[in-house]
Structure 1
C-alpha cells in the first residue's frame, strides 16, 4: 500500500452545537470550538471534521443549507470560522467541512428561483415532475417522510427530496448546477480548509427513470446509481486534482466491491469513504457478522483503497450504549477504541467517545428534536401504533442519542454552557466528564491517547496486512496486523462474560490492555489486549 499522511491520520468529529457554548445562549458555537482547540490538540489527532455551520433555517441541524458562503448566526461569524481555521493550523490540526450538495434548503435562492416559474433560468436546477392523477409521481419514499415528493403551489408541480420536504434535491444532470458546486468548493479551499466530508454524496446521481419500485421501503434506489462515478471524477478534475485536500464520502447502499470504485487510488475520486453495513444495518453488536464485514471490505479494498472505521457519530447512537455495555462502560469503551484503531482504515473519534460518553433515552417523545425522529414517530402513530411501543422501538437508534452536550466537568450543564442547553445534558455527566478523566491515569481518555500515540509510532497499525484468526467465534475477536516481520495480535472478548482463550501470548509481549491484571488463558468481560511479536 502506498504511504500517505492521510492514511495515518486520526479524525476528531466536532458537532459544534453540542461541543462548547461560548456566549451563554445554550447553543455550542465556533468560538467554543476555538476555546477547546488545545484539548483537541492534546489528543494528538490530525483532522477536525466540523459539522455544517453554513447559514440554514436549521430544520435538519444545518444539513439544510440556504447559503453556502455565509455562517449561521447560531454558530458565529465568518471571522470566527477564519480564526478557527488559522488556530487549528497553528496547532498542526487540519480542518474539514461538511459538503452538503445532494440538496439545499428550500430557502436557498437557487430553489426560490427554481420554484418561481418553469421558465426561470434555474427552473431545472432541482427535480420537478407532474403528478399522476393528483398523486405524487411514484411510490418512492424519502429517508424522513412517507413520500419524497412535495407539491409546490407556485410552480404547480412536485419537487423531489431524499430527506425532509424542506431539503429539495439538486438536479446534478444540469451542468450549471455542477459548476456552481465546484465554484463553491474552490472558494472554501481558498479559505484554507483542508478538505470535505461529503454528505450522502452518492445520492447526487438519480435513477434514469422515476418508475415505481417493487419495495419502496428498501431505499437503495435512492443512491449508488450508474453515472455517479462520472460526476465524482469530474469533481476531482475540477476541484481536487493537484491538491492535498482530504475527502471522505458518506456512501450508503454500497458493498466492498462498489466501494473500491469510489476510493481506488488510480480512479481519482475520493480518498476514503464511510460505509454503513455496521452503523445502519446492525442494531446491536453481532460479532460474527461484524468480522465478516471487516474481512470483505479489507479483501476488496487492500492495497488500492482505504475505508474509514467508526461506530458512532452525530447520526448514530454512542458506541458504548449500542455496541458495548453500559454496565462495563469503561472496559467496553476501551475495547471498542482499541478495535477501531487497530483495524484497517482511518479511525474517527466522535466528540465524547474518548471519555466513554453514553447515549440517552428520553421518556417523552417531545424531548426529541431530530426531524427524522419526529416525522417517523408521527407517521407510525397516525398508522395506529401505540405511543409507548413506537417510542421504545425508536429510542436506541434515535439520532439525538449522540447529540447531547459534551460533558466537560461537574459544573452546571456539564460545563457546556452557563445558559439553558439547547438539548438536555445526560445526567451521568457528574461521573463521566473530561475533568475527571484528565485526573485518572486509567481513564478512557488516557487509553485513547495511548492508542493514538501507538498509531503515530508503529506503521504496522496503519499499513499492516490484516488476518482474522477466529472468524467464527461468537465472542472472541482475534486478528493480527503484519508489516516487515512485526506482528501485532489483538485479542478481544466482545462479551459481558469471561471466556477462555488459546490466543494469549507471554506478558512481556503485551503492549496495551484495558485490565490492570491479565490471565493469559482467560479474558474478563470486554477485556482487550494488544500483543507484539516478531515473525520467526
Structure 2
C-alpha cells in the first residue's frame, strides 16, 4: 500500500476570489483565508488547494497569468502569502498551489516580446503558425468556442489558445520554456509550498498534424473530439520527471496531474508514489457526463444517469488500483455545485449532501472538498445576462445571439450550466452579503444564505458540516477506507450506488441511494448473509439483518461485514 501523507490527507479547494474578503473591496483575498484557518482546522482538512493567486489581469479567473512570481493585487502581497503559509503550517495544514503552465496571459512579458517580431528571442515561447490560404492554420476548436487560433495583425501569423484568446499557449517543445517553468516551481517550493496541482498538464504538449478528422458541417473540430490533438503524454512524462530532478528529492511535495478527457489507462505511465512522476491524477469524467460531444460542450440539457456515474467512477477506481492514486472530487470552481448536480436542492438537500459526502470520503484515493460543499451550498441565483462574470458563459450568450438562438433559451442554458454557479461567495453567516464582504461582492450571492451558512452549520451538531467532520475522522482511522480495494456492486441498478472496500481481513459495504424513491437493496454474492455492523450514515441505523432491505430517500450507510 506504500503509505504517503498525501494519500491520507483530505484536500480543501479554495477559489480565493469567492472565499473571504478581509478588506471590504468585494473580492476574496489571502488575508481572508488566514482569518478562516481555524474553521478549516475544525473541519479536519489537511491540505488547502488554492486556485491561482498569481499576478493576473483576471479576465479568466486568475488563470491568465502575467507574472508567476507575484501575487495578484486583489489578493494582497507576497507578505500575505507568506503569512498564510506560516499560519497554515502552524495548524499542521499544508498549502498546494494550482500551477497553470499550458498558457499565460497575453499581457505576460514573454508574450509581449513574442508578438513584437518574428525574430524576437521569445517568438518560439508560444505556438505560432501561418494561415492556410485565407483561413486558420487548422480546424481545431477552442474550449471557449471558435478556433484555437487568433490572428495577430502585427506579425501576420496566428497564435494558439485552447481557452480564451487572452490565454496564448506556451510552446513546451522549447527547452527555454521548460527551464522557465522549472525555475518557477522551484521558487515556490523554496518558499515552503507543499504541493502543486498542474492544471491541464496532459495538454501542455500538442501533437503535430492538421485536419486529422472530418468536421462534417462544423467550421471547427469540436474540442471534445480534439482531446488527443492536445495531448502528448510521452513528452509530458519526461517534463514531470525533469521537474522533479530540478527541484530535488529534498522537497517532500505532492504533484497532482489533471487528466480530463483521457482514459485512466493512458495515465498509468504518468503517476507513481515515487519522485519523478505525478503522484495523483484528478479526473472529472463523472462531472462531464452532462457535456455534449457535438461541439456545444456544457451548453446542453444533457444530464447524467446513475449507471453512467457508476461506470465512470468505477473505471478510474479499478484501473488505478495498485498502479496509481486517484484524486477524487464531486465539484470544483468550474462546475455547478454537487448538490445541484447530483443531489436535491429542496427538502432533501441536507440528506443528499450527506449522501454525496459519503461517496466522496469512501472512494479509494484522496478526496477534495470544494469550498462550501461542507455546507450544502447550491449556487445559482442568476437572473439576467448581466449577472454573469464567466468569460465562457458570456461567449456562449454572444454566440447564441449571433446565431439566432432564442434569448430566453440561451439564458436558461447559461443559468443551468455556467461555471459561475460554483463561484458564488462562500456563505459565512446570515448577515448582509453572507459575511463574505463588507463591500459589494464581485458576483451575486446564491439564494438561501440566511439558512445555509457556516455559522449555523457549526452550531448545529446534525449539520452537513459536522457530517463531513465525522467522515473525515472515520477515514483517518480506517486503513480500509484509506487503502482498501474498491469493488462495484449492482452495476445495473439505476437507483443505488453500492460498493465494497476491502483491506486485509476487513470489508466495508457502502450503500448509497441517489434519489428520493425507496428502492430495495438486494445484496449480491451472499455478502449480507454475513453479520453486518452499522458504522455511519445519514439516518439512524436501519435493518442490519437479512440480505434485502429498503433504502430511505438519499440514504447513505457504511457497514462493516463480519
Q: 2-side partners of 1:495 and 1:399: how far apart?
A: 25
Shift of 1:450: 0.4
Deviations 1:458-491 (A, max 9, x none): 1110101111221211111121111121121111
2:124 is matched with which residue? 124
| Distance of aligned partners of 1:318 and 1:445 in 2 relative to their CA distance in 1, 3 Å threshold | same
The CA distance in 2 between the partners of 1:236 and 1:458, in whole Å, is: 31
Greater CA drift, 288-297 or 411-420 = 288-297
Structure 1, unpaired ranges of 5+: none
Partner-residue secondary structure (3-state), 1:298: helix
Greater mean deviation of Cα atoms: 46-55 or 201-210: 201-210
2:530–2:561 Cα contact (<8 Å) kept: no
Match of 1:437? Answer: 457
- Tell me, yes or no, if structure 1 residue 528 matches structure 2 residue 523: no
Q: Contact between 1:224 and 1:253, CA under 8 Å: does it hold in 2? A: no
Query: Offset of 1:242 from its aligned partner?
Result: 4.7
Aligned equivalents of 1:26, 1:365: Cα separation in 2 = 20
Q: Report whether the alignment pairs 1:137 with 2:165.
A: no
- In 1, Cα distance between the equivalents of 2:340 and 2:74? 30
Pick one of 224, 230, 236 that aligns with 2:238: 230
Cα distance change, pair 213–366 in 1 and its aligned pair in 2 (3 A): farther
**Bigger shift: residues 387-396 or 89-98:** 387-396
Instruction: Name the CA distance, whole Å, in 1 between partners of 2:373 and 2:66.
Output: 31
- Could you tell me which residue of structure 2 aligns to residue 516 of structure 1? 540
SS at structure 2 position matched to 1:5: coil
In structure 2, C-alpha distance between the alignment counterparts of 1:34 and 1:353, rounded to whole Å? 19
| 1:269 match | 277
In structure 2, relative to structure 1, the CA distance for the partners of 1:447 and 1:284 (3 Å cut) is: farther
Q: How does 1:169-208 map to 2 (within 5 A)?
A: 169-208=169-208
Write the mapping of 1:189-338 to structure 2, written as runs, cut at 5 A.
Answer: 189-211=189-211, 213-215=213-215, 216-217=221-222, 218-225=225-232, 227-239=235-247, 241-265=249-273, 268-282=276-290, 284-327=303-346, 328-338=348-358
Greater shift in the superposed pair: 347-356 or 463-472: 463-472
Structure 1 equivalent of residue 407 of structure 2? 387
Q: Quote the Cα distance in structure 2 between the aligned partners of 1:394 and 1:147.
A: 21
Deviations 1:255-291 (A, max 9, x none): 1211222214468320111112111234544212222
8 Å Cα contact 2:539-2:555 kept in structure 1: yes
Q: Distance in 1 between matches of 2:231 and 2:127?
A: 18
CA RMSD of aligned residues (A): 1.7
1:427 Cα deviation (Å)?
2.0
Partner deviation per Cα, 1:94-120 (whole Å, 9 max, x = no partner): 001110111000000000111111111
SS in 2 for 1:116: coil
State the 1:222 CA deviation. Answer: 4.3
Q: Secondary structure at the match of 2:508?
A: strand
* Contact 2:381-2:445 at 8 Å conserved across structures: no
Q: How far does residue 231 in structure 1 lie from its aligned partner after superposition?
A: 2.4
Counterparts of 1:159 and 1:437, CA distance in 2: 49
What displacement does 1:212 show? 5.3
Structure 1 equivalent of residue 10 of structure 2: 10
> 1:507/1:73 Cα in 2 relative to 1: closer, same or farther (>3 Å)?
farther
**Which ranges of 4 or more aligned residues in structure 1 deviate by more than 4 Å?**
504-508
**SS of 2:426's equivalent?**
coil
Range 50-59 or range 475-484, more displaced: 475-484
Residue ranges of structure 2 left out of the alignment (5+ in a row): 216-220, 291-301
Contact 2:27 2:442 in 1 (8 A): yes
- Please name the residue that 1:409 is paired with: 429
What is the match of residue 79 of structure 2?
79
TM-score for both structures, normalised by structure 2 = 0.92
Offset of residue 125 of structure 1: 0.6
CA contact (8 A) 1:322 1:396 kept: no
Report the number of matched residues.
534
What CA distance in whole angstroms lies between the structure 2 residues aligned with 1:240 and 1:111?
Answer: 29
C-alpha distance after superposition, 1:325-383 (max 9, x if no partner)? 11211001000000111011110000000011002141212211001111122112211
CA distance, structure 1, for counterparts of residue 128 and residue 262 of structure 2? 27
Q: Give me the whole-angstrom Cα distance separating, in 2, the residues matched to 1:175 and 1:449.
A: 46
Deviates more, 1:292-301 or 1:463-472: 292-301
